[in-house]
Amino acid sequence: MKLDNWLAQRSQSCPDRIALAADGVDVTYAELEAEATWVARRLAAHGVRRGSIAALTMHPRREQVVLFHALMKVGATLLPLSPRLTAIERAAIVAAEEPTVDLDDAGELTQTEADLPLLGENDMDDVCARVLTSGSSGLPKPVGLTYGNFLWSAVGSGFNIGVDPADRWLCCLPLSHISGLGIVMRSVIYGTAAVLHDGFDVDRAAAALEEDGITVVS
């Protein structure tokens, strides 16, 4: 079963709705689509294609979300790595996964863009991301999550707590963890806003709950 690219779909159905609030800036779905398309072509210029693995080691920020969506547009698999991994843990994962690109800053990509068609659809059974386990019984191990996994997770969450187009979901969690990554994915599936903090700070989170129109928080 094929799924329309979630971000491209939202940029058509609700282009002016806020998709992401991060780093002090509100980004609409149309703006996020334009950024992700541009970055997708830069990733493609680095040889990232359908089936490639892209390792991203970043603290939560806007450009990380843009890269997530850019990877979906070329059909590559996201491998989000925590900056808190030890050097030994990280080296073992990179050696085993052999990513096509290994980034800790989007600025490492050149400005060159590849002129190739981007994907307008993704297959339900294709692996979208490989997310690490906690490593509580050994080294962390990547677990493949398909587009279908993310879709049905969003459906289940929607049934449990409901969805409103005006929802703003506060994410103070790392995007290398499924809890944080799931918020970004659910928000684009729903067409709602993700409010992204670069970490958890109790005063900042409390202020966001009071002042930023937050309706859901993890």
Are residues 20 and 193 in contact, defined by beta-carbon separation less than 8 angstroms? yes
Q: Output the pLDDT for position 41.
A: 94
Q: Output the pLDDT for position 77.
A: 97
Q: Output the pLDDT for position 123.
A: 93
Strand partners, 170: 195, 217
Look up residue 82 and give its two tokens.
């925590």
Is the pLDDT score of 106 beyond 80?
no
Q: Which residue has the tokens 């990232």?
A: 48
Is the pLDDT score of 204 beyond 80?
yes
Average pLDDT over all residues of the chain: 94
Helix (H, G, I), strand (E, B) or coil at 189: helix
Q: pTM of whole model > 0.85? A: yes
Is the pLDDT score of 136 beyond 80?
no
Q: Output the pLDDT for position 137.
A: 80
Q: CA distances (Å), 211 to each of 20, 28, 203, 214, in order?
A: 16, 20, 12, 8
Q: Which residue has the tokens 């187009």?
A: 165
Q: Output the pLDDT for position 139.
A: 77
In 10 A of CB 114, how many CB atoms? Answer: 16
